[in-house]
Amino acid sequence: MIIALGCDHAAYELKEAVKAKMESEGHTIIDVGTDSTESVDYPKYGHAVGKAVASGEAERGIAICGSGIGISIACNKVPGIRAALCTSVEMAEMCRRHNNANVVCMGARMISQELAFDIIDTWMTTEFEGGKHLRRINEIEDLDF
């Protein structure tokens, strides 16, 4: 799978660990930055992840900042993106099952690397249930201008 991956300075080390994990599992990573721990603003990177997924360049996206909140908001500014901030495996499962989330967001200062990997594994392997949930996603999509 082709995955867009982006972060701010607070999440650089976790992004690099995620990148190595995903590549070792055979995924192609589009790394939209950042490329160091030097302070940067997260909106640029969240938007880049969202644009890569919305355009079809990537099939899914992973976005990480210090809390996960800001970068998830930035991702969700891109029409067609359903970015979910996940702090647990259960949230990762539900955002795929019920919301068909195409971007997962995490906070590097909020969760461990081990939990981040577990969240990603669950998010990558959980299928969308469709049905009534598709109707709700279509309602959300209708909100995009």
For residues 78 and 131, is the Cβ–Cβ distance under 8 A? no
Dist CA 145 CA 143 (whole Å)? 6
For residues 47 and 73, is the Cβ–Cβ distance under 8 A? no
Residues 6+ apart with CB under 8 A from 44: 33, 74
Nearest-10 Cα torsion for 22, 56, 11, 117: -30
Q: Active-site residue 98, yes or no?
A: yes
The residue among 3, 8, 41, 43 whose CA lies nearest residue 19 is 3
For residues 4 and 19, is the Cβ–Cβ distance under 8 A? no
Catalytic-role residue among 7, 65, 95, 105? 65
Catalytic residues: 65, 98
